[in-house]
Structure 1
Amino acid sequence: MIKGWIFDLDGVITDTAEFHFKAWKQLADEEGLSFTREDNEQLRGVSRADSLRLLLKGKTVTDQHFEEMMTRKNGYYQELVEKMGPEDALPGARELVKELRSRGIKTAIGSSSRNAGRVIELLQMEDIFDTIADGHSVANAKPAPDLFLHAASQLGLSPDECVVVEDAEAGVEAALAGGMCAVGIGPAERVGKAHYVYAETADIDLKEVMG
């Protein structure tokens, strides 16, 4: 029996992909690195450190420089994020979470982003999630299941009592590895391994998923 839903943040509840692109692009330009929108797609659902490794494309840097670049990118991203408001929630996202809660279902955010809490605050959605598992919560990023297992634990639920909503291949793989029901948002070539696939969050059919 499903008792909890765990939502990825980017691409499911809101879409800060453009902010991430602009922040990574600014860093890449400063470092003399090539970075395109196609490159940005490869970073979907990937932790900040792994994203930077992909950006560097094999270029070696000192640990100190690596940390500084991550901090610099996050600063650019945070500047853009601070302009967000409730209107930046994706269509249907707020309504879906509220509907679940009206049915007595627990809800959580399970996001690799270390800024997840702040983004939820800016969206004014902090009162409709029971817990937020983010990039600070676990050591192993998706596709490891750790983040979603942590979120389930925070909800007081077992993995088989949880649904995970994800828009990234790595996130779907993490949900499946954790023994959870996976709902994929986006094209089948990206999230087709999920138990259920919908084009957008607003398209999720609760009757279909919940049975």
Structure 2
Amino acid sequence: MNAPVAGSPASRAALAPLLRDVRAVVLDTDGVITDSARVHAAAWKTAFDAFLREHPPENLDLRRPFDLQDDYLRYVDGKSRIDGAAAFLASRGFASSDETVQAVAADKERLFTEQLREHGVDAYPGTVRLVRALRRAGVPVAAVSASRHARELLGHAGVLDLFDALVDGGEAAQLGLPGKPQPDLFLEAARRLGVPADRAAVVEDALAGVEAGRRGGFALVVGVDRTAGPDTAERLLRHGADIVVRDLGELLAGGTPT
């Protein structure tokens, strides 16, 4: 039997109905394509907890360690290192100088890089299946990331060649693109794919990311809830997701998106 021709009705039938009219898909990298969000979160925890031990806030309630789920999702997930460091430190009562923010962000960068180089990361199988199905259906796909490590991450995971475009933190800085929840990173990726935002989908696991997709006027914003926390899916929906899935394999025909 011959394989379905790219872009044919048969190839689009492999996608869940909500994706069949989408003309491009833009996916965040950490936590959506690669299993790297946990490495970022662990590096942030080590860096922030060390800072809090060295500089304990006067308010005892603010001395609690960095929470890998709530604090990560609320303050740093999806943001640049500088924005994430500044947001968390502000939440603990620090009117931090640029020097302090830079130092904590640099400590996190060192820790993350050490883990990446030593252990690498994997791509989520469900995401790989979906991206391949999109490509067979003739739907261009881009990867985006606030991190400067996205190309390295995707290369380590063996999936870099699956994407038609990549906009990472380094390029965002060069182009002067503001970070999430502003939509500029996603809009630049859609522009490179040659598809307007109102015909494209965004796939994100961060609150700031789904908010950016909504602000950008994308046709579909998919939230990815890897942690399955007690209210994570609800928070993603409140911030702008149209639907929430646990795994991107749910966006293939026969899947059951929430």
TM-score (norm 2): 0.73
* Structure 2 residues without counterparts, runs of 5 or longer: 1-20, 54-64, 226-231
Letter in 2 for 1:185: V
Tell me the equivalent position of 2:236: 191
SS of the residue corresponding to residue 32 of structure 1 reads helix
Task: Indicate which of 181, 186, 191 corresponds to 1:148.
Answer: 186
What secondary structure sits across from 2:171 in the alignment? coil
Say whether 1:6 aligns with 2:13: no
Which one-letter code corresponds to 2:179 in the other structure? Answer: A
Q: Deviations over 1:64-98 (max 9, x none)?
A: 3432332221111011122225xx21131111111
Give the equivalent residue in structure 1 for 2:107: 72
Is 1:160 matched up with 2:207?
Answer: no
**1:203 and 2:238 equivalent?**
no
For residue 102 of structure 1, what is the aligned residue in structure 2? 136
Partner amino acid, structure 2, of 1:102: R
SS at match of 1:109: strand
SS, match of residue 7 in structure 1: strand
Identical aligned residues as a percent: 36
**Is structure 2 residue 127 aligned with structure 1 residue 93?**
yes
Shift in Å, 1:54:
2.8
> How do 1:6-155 residues align onto structure 2 when only pairs under 5 Å count?
6-33=26-53, 34-37=65-68, 38-42=70-74, 43-56=76-89, 57-82=92-117, 83-85=119-121, 88-138=122-172, 139-155=177-193
Distance 1:198 1:32, change over 3 A: closer
Distance 1:17 1:2 in 2: 27
Structure 1 unaligned runs (5+)? none
Take 1:104 and 1:207, find their aligned partners in 2: how far apart are those partners?
Answer: 20
Tell me which moved more, 188-197 or 177-186.
188-197
Letter in 2 for 1:96: L
1:194 is displaced (CA, Å) by 1.9
RMSD: 2.0
Question: In structure 2, do the counterparts of structure 1 residues 197 and 41 end up closer, same or farther at CA, with 3 Å as the change threshold?
Answer: closer
Q: Deviations over 1:154-183 (max 9, x none)?
A: 112211221111112211111111111211
- Deviating above 4 A after TM superposition, structure 1's stretches of 4 or more consecutive aligned residues are none
| Displacement after TM superposition at 1:106 (Å) | 0.6
The 1:206/1:152 distance shift into structure 2, 3 A limit, reads: farther
| Equivalences, count | 206
Structure-1 separation of matches of 2:81 and 2:27: 19
TM-score, normalised to structure 1, is 0.88
Residues 177-186 or 23-32, more deviating: 23-32
Distance 1:29 1:172, change over 3 A: closer
Asked if the contact 1:168–1:190 (Cα under 8 Å) also holds between the matched residues in 2, the reply is: no
Q: 1:89-134: per-residue Cα shift (whole Å, max 9, x none)?
A: 1131111111111111111012212211110010111110011112
Deviation for aligned residue 1:2 = 2.3
Larger Rg: 2
Local SS of the residue matching 1:92:
helix
